[in-house]
Amino acid sequence: DVVLTQTPVSLLISLGGQASISCRSSQSLVHSNGNTYLHWYLQKPGQSPQLLIYQVSNRFSGIPDRFSGSGSGTDFTLKISRVEPEDLGVYYCLQRTHNPYTFGAGTKLELK
């Protein structure tokens, strides 16, 4: 199975600051069709996960441009600029290139 390693495990960020989360894969996430199925989710306290970024760098509908995704192959990054209170929670990466699909262990974003 593909292992996704997320770092850091937790982040303490001031309001208005910038956060960066890494997701490294144990193998390339480039699908045979050329697409890379690496997605990012935020799970706010008491809620279900919500999609933020799909296929590495595409913001989902309604997601502010403070969120950006980048990367290729095995190394991916989610950046959150100008952190706001509603950004707090646990961030997960998910790969849907290789079956079984797998999630990273999560990164908890907290306020400093």
Partner 1 sequence: EVQLVESGGSLVQPGGSLKLSCVASGFTFSNYWMDWVRQTPGKSLEWIGEINTDGSKTNYAPSIKDRFTISRDNAKSTLYLQMSNVKSDDTAIYYCTRKGGVDWGQGVMVTVSS
14, 45, 48, 85: which one contacts partner 1 (CB under 8 A)?
A: 48
Q: Where are the alpha helices (DSSP H) in the chain?
A: none
2, 13, 30, 51: which one contacts partner 1 (CB under 8 A)?
A: 51
Candidates 13-21, 25-33, 66-74, 100-108 — which segment interacts with partner 1 by CB under 8 A? 100-108
Torsion angle (degrees, nearest 10) of CA 9, 14, 19, 21 = 10
> Minimal distance in Å, beta carbon 91 to partner 1?
11
Largest CA distance in the chain: 42
Candidates 14-22, 66-74, 79-87, 90-98 — which segment interacts with partner 1 by CB under 8 A? 90-98
Q: Where are the alpha helices (DSSP H) in 2-107?
A: none
Contact of 78 with 93, CB cutoff 8 Å? yes
Chain residues that interact with partner 1, rule: CB under 8 A: 1, 39, 41, 48-51, 54, 60, 90, 92, 94, 96, 99-103, 105-106
